[in-house]
Amino acid sequence: MGIEAPRVFKRDKNRGSKQVDISLATEMLSHAHRKYFDVVVLVAGDADYIPLVRAVQREGARVHHLWALSNGLSDRLAMAVDYVAKIDKIFGV
């Protein structure tokens, strides 16, 4: 189906910061540019991802689902994506 497994970034004690934001942004934008997907699922709630969402959308892809907990979801990010799915019930929140 062309669905790729999610990325999990593990902390490397020798490297310090996991650099998850930069790794995610670089990979997501490069895949959008190469037209590897039409829809991407972003599991995050941080407004720092708004420029990434807009850049991916400019490449013609939809950030169709933003999966986040209600208490960690930026209102501005929710407005930037194409669809929001709150996952509170899954975690009993």
Q: What is the CATH number of the domain that holds 30?
A: 3.40.50.1010
Owning domain of residue 50? 20-87
In a domain, 61, yes or no: yes
Give the predicted TM-score (pTM) of the model: 0.75
In a domain, 68, yes or no: yes
Q: How far apart are CA 78 and CA 55, in angstroms?
A: 15
Q: How far apart are CA 11 and CA 30, in angstroms?
A: 23
In a domain, 8, yes or no: no
| pLDDT tens by residue, 50-86 | 999 999 999 999 997 677 778 888 999 999 999 988 8
3-state secondary structure of 43: strand
Q: What is the per-residue pLDDT for 26?
A: 92
In a domain, 10, yes or no: no
Give the Cβ contact number of residue 34 at 10 Å: 9
In a domain, 83, yes or no: yes
Overall number of domains in the chain: 1
Q: How far apart are CA 60 and CA 55, in angstroms?
A: 9
In a domain, 4, yes or no: no
Q: What is the per-residue pLDDT for 77?
A: 92
Give the Cβ contact number of residue 77 at 10 Å: 22
Q: What is the per-residue pLDDT for 14?
A: 61
In a domain, 51, yes or no: yes
Question: How many CA atoms are closer than 13 Å to the CA of 50, on its beta-carbon side?
Answer: 11
